[in-house]
Structure 1
Amino acid sequence: MNDISDYKKKKKTYFLNLYGLRFVAALFIFVFHAFTLFRENWIDIHESRLYSYFISKGQLGVNLFFILSGFLISYLALEKNSDAQPYTGWRFLKQRSLRILPLYFLFVGFCYLLFPLAPWGETPIYDISSFYSFTFNFEEIETGALDHLNYLTPLWTIAVECQYYFLVALILFLFRKKTAIAFYLLYPLLIVVSLIFRFLHGEETDIIYYHSFSVMSDFGIGGLLAVSYYQNKIQRYFKSLNLPIRLGVYLVILSMLLFQYQIFTPALRWGERFVIGLAFGFILIDLITNSKKTFFLEHNNFIRKMGISSYGFYVYHVFVLYTLTSLTLYFDLSYSPLLLFLYISLSLFISLGWAKISYRYFELPIQNYLRKKDIKL
């Protein structure tokens, strides 16, 4: 008997708020990169309070992405596994690969084959095989410090994401009839291993940031929340929270993020990602449980649409930042606050527009083709 067969049959679930949350995460990452990458050509704010308290928090968008992925992928696996048709590991891998890899490989191919032909183009220094083997996060640890182009760097998260997909596929292959139980065993293990790994490598910045073992607690937190939510174990608790309590929790989370570096000293750095992950997990469940009471993410049509194409926005945005920076150098434009404003505004506009075009004319046609072939994403 399937371990989730006792739970009520469910229609396919859409968490509309999470489209908006995904866009917010991507926007935070954009802001972080806009002010930190290529700063030698603009303005170095690394030592300023503006960076310490606000801009540096943009990199936490990656944490949020991983938690969202752990939640959505795990919930998808449980939901589809309750259908009459078995949801096998191979079927899962095929669907996820055909969703994210066409754009991934298209962009990598463009960066290696076409962009070096541009007047300011260069061939990336990375071993291209690391992209096709989904080990680029390890290549970034070894080689990233030598890379001044940076526009391929965001793909380290796609590599980690694919590694997570392989793990979920293995669970579906070995424990298809006991998926929820397997998740309950797997995800705490990921969290514990991540905490131990971070404790052992706390002073190695690149390893702490890019290594799979260091970031896997995010998937663990998202996955555990997905299983609990699917089995209706936490909805009542979150629905019982009144507005003052919820606002109080959000205030505590905001304060923790603002004073992140003061709270998580080097001695406590090993637990930083886990604690922040719990905070983001609270926000995630609160958004989908109290969607009618929470902010504007579900009902804001612009943010929701941007969330749908946020994958392309994330992939393209550093390339756009690099290209516009190169153009200012090519035309010998002197720095000014107005030029910096135009640079960031134009980068955001082009990145969003390119992502929308990419989704409409490349990603969406692939999805529609798969639907015609009865492969539902």
Structure 2
Amino acid sequence: MYKNISFFPNLNALRFVAALLVIFHHGEVIRAKNDFISYEHLSFFQNGSTAVKFFFVLSGFLISYLLLKEKAEKKTISIPNFYLKRVIRIWPLYFLLVTIGILLFPFLFEVLHIKYTFPYKVDQVWLLFLLFLPSVVTFKFGSHLLEPLWSIGVEEWFYIIWAPLFKWIDNKLAFIIGIFLIKIILLTLCFNNMIVNDLLVHLIKTFAFESMAIGGLGAYFLYNTSMDIHQLYKKYAPLNYLLSTVLFVYFFFRAYAHALLGFDIFESWLFSYIILNFLFLNLILFSSVILSSESFFNRSFLDYAGKISYGIYMYHMIVIFAVIHLGKKYLLNLDPWLSFTIFYVLVIVGTCITAHLSKKYFEDFFMKFRSKLN
């Protein structure tokens, strides 16, 4: 019933919302470090890593669905084509940001006398970025302008590992569940202090293959089910409302959970590594299958904003830094709420414009080669 879906509506809007959550999170963290009145203690502004989890679940869902569809239609999966498509989409912007961040910016900041100390030198990190391990750069050297690239490294390793195993292992469901269980076992060992090596613990927690696997489970269910999902959601509407409410409370009120309930229902790693991912999967299925393609989330401006969300995610730290550096002395003299508003208008508009220009004049140059692979 759902084997020939070529486009999932509404998901681009969710991508854009997730990218905005990352902006708000990093924005408040950086504002706090620069003497602004910050609201980083509020739950809404603590959703940066949560939004990235959503991206991971969405990647697992979309990639697994596409692989299932390709396997059924062509009786095989072209690994070279799969890799080339990901390379064309991800690598140009990734390596552009790496080049800017580790070569151009240190030079420019020194020439322009910008007060920012890079925590690393080029010879210390270039190989880590080349191997798509920017998370290890942050682990070793602390926060930096290229810190958001950690999730791109995780995505790349997911692509490298997932596609060939998906092709070679016949029982797709067993494969997906196996990856999920292996990751949960490793997380259990970490959180029970049975794995204590700091770097190993960092890698296990950072490489969120459990999120991708949960997305993959959703794709497997959607592709193979004979049930009418519209009727399923209609039958269990109260359950969907409950799941949506839990997600809403998590995004906006989790900081107050302990004060309101006497315990924190969100503090367990089982919630953040398992339950939250399933909540995101439910959101993805509901938005892409149940919601109409005529819904508000599929408006053209939101759809386009989702299409440039990769660029928004990649450029936002640079734009935040620019706004702070150029406007700090003016913004600090304004009313806090006015300063807050102007700051985010500048950051969001600036980031979106930068992402748009990047897509139009840089990324699309490479994407035309990808169309030839279809």
TM > 0.5 between the two?
yes
Indicate the residue corresponding to 2:297 in structure 1. 297
| 1:152 matches 2:142 | no
Aligned-partner residue type, residue 53 of structure 1: S
Q: 1:352 to 1:98 in 2, by over 3 A?
A: same
Q: Are residue 52 (structure 1) and residue 46 (structure 2) matched?
A: no
Relative contact order (C-alpha < 8 Å, sep 6+): which is higher?
Answer: 2
Tell me if structure 2 keeps the 8 A contact 1:229–1:235.
Answer: no
Q: Distance in 1 between matches of 2:62 and 2:35?
A: 38
Q: Is 1:359 aligned with 2:359?
A: yes
The answer for the alignment partner of 1:64 in structure 2 is 54
The Cα offsets for residues 162-203 of structure 1, whole Å up to 9 and x where unpaired, read as 11111113314533x554553343334334434443444899
Q: Supply the distance in 2 between the matched residues of 1:128 and 1:364 (Cα, whole angstroms).
A: 26
- Structure 2 counterpart of 1:32: 25
Aligned match of 1:327: 326
8 A Cα contact 1:71 1:223, kept in partner: yes
The 8 Å contact of residues 316 and 351 in structure 1, kept in 2 or not, is answered as: yes
Asked if 2 retains the 8 angstrom alpha-carbon contact of 1:134 and 1:163, the reply is: yes
State the shift of 1:134 in Å.
1.1
C-alpha separation in 1, matches of 2:243 and 2:27: 30
C-alpha separation in 2, matches of 1:243 and 1:226: 21
Corresponding residue to 1:84 among 56, 74, 79: 74
Instruction: Tell me the residue number matched to 1:128.
Output: 126
Equivalent-residue separation in structure 2 for 1:327 and 1:306 (angstroms): 26
Question: Is the counterpart of residue 197 in structure 1 residue 190 in structure 2?
Answer: yes
Structure 2 Cα separation of the partners of residues 207 and 114 of structure 1 = 32
CA change 1:167–1:224 in 2 (3 A) is same
Report if aligned partners of 1:195, 1:214 keep a CA contact under 8 Å in 2: no
* Distance in structure 1 (CA, Å) of the matches to 2:200 and 2:5: 38
1:240 aligns to what SS in structure 2? Answer: helix
Deviations 1:207-237 (A, max 9, x none): 8777556632211211111111111266536
- Contact residue 89 and residue 363 of structure 2 kept, 8 A: yes
Q: Is residue 162 of structure 2 the alignment partner of residue 168 of structure 1?
A: yes
1:311 CA drift (Å) = 0.1
SS of the aligned residue for 2:42 comes to helix
Equivalence for 1:4: none
Taking a change above 3 Å as real, the CA distance of residues 122 and 361 of structure 1, as seen in their structure-2 partners, is: farther
Select which of 248, 255, 259 maps to 1:254: 248
Deviation at 1:302, TM superposition (A): 0.9
Structure 1 counterpart of 2:157, one-letter code: Q
Pair 1:285–1:345, CA change in 2 (3 A): same
Corresponding residue number in structure 2 for 1:142: 140
The code of the aligned residue for 2:361 comes to Y
Cα shift readout 1:247-269 (whole Å, capped 9, x = no counterpart):
34322332244226635479723
Q: 1:107 to 1:293 in 2, by over 3 A?
A: closer
1:312-370 Cα deviation digits (max 9, x unpaired): 000000111012212235x6764432334322211111100110111112112211123
CA contact (8 A) 1:20 1:306 kept: yes
Task: Say whether the 8 Å CA contact 2:210–2:274 is kept in structure 1.
Answer: yes
Quick one: percent identity of the two aligned structures?
Answer: 24
Deviating above 6 A after TM superposition, structure 1's stretches of 4 or more consecutive aligned residues are 201-210
Q: What amino acid sits opposite 2:56 in the alignment? A: F
Residue 346 of structure 1 corresponds to which residue in structure 2? 346
- SS of 1:292's equivalent? coil
Once the two structures are superposed, the pairs formed by residues 260-279 of structure 1 within 5 Å of their partners are: 262=258, 264=264, 268-279=268-279
Which amino acid is 1:322 matched to?
F
Count of aligned pairs: 357
Choose which of 96, 100, 108 in structure 1 pairs with 2:90: 100
Give the structure 2 partner of residue 5 of structure 1: none
Equivalent in the alignment of 1:306: 305
> AA paired with 2:365?
P
Amino acid paired to 2:125 = D
1:286-329 deviations in Å (ceiling 9; x for gaps)? 1112122996212x211111000100000000111012212235
Residue type matched to 1:169 in 2? A
C-alpha distance 189-314 of structure 1, shift in aligned 2 (>3 A): same
Counterpart in 1 of 2:212? 219
The 8 Å contact of residues 23 and 310 in structure 1, kept in 2 or not, is answered as yes
The two structures have a TM-score, normalised by structure 1, of 0.83
Equivalent pair of 1:29/1:61 in contact (CA under 8 Å):
yes
Does the CA-based 8 Å contact 1:312-1:355 persist in structure 2?
yes
Cα displacement (A) at 1:16: 2.0
Flag the 1:135–1:79 CA change in 2: closer, same or farther, 3 A. same
Deviation at 1:244, TM superposition (A): 5.3
Partner of 1:285: 285
- The structure-2 alpha-carbon separation of the partners of 1:328 and 1:207, relative to structure 1 and needing over 3 Å to count, comes to farther
Distance 1:57 1:167 in 2: 28
Separation in 1 of the partners of 2:342 and 2:199? Answer: 32
Deviations 1:92-135 (A, max 9, x none): 22211221111100111012222223322665616121111112
Structure 1 window deviating more from structure 2 (272-281 vs 196-205): it is: 196-205
After superposition, the Cα gap between the structure-2 partners of 1:267 and 1:233, relative to the gap in structure 1 and judged at 3 Å, is: same
Q: Distance in 1 between matches of 2:318 and 2:224?
A: 42
Does the Cα contact within 8 Å between 1:137 and 1:211 map onto a contact in 2? Answer: no
Contact residue 194 and residue 215 of structure 1 kept, 8 A: no
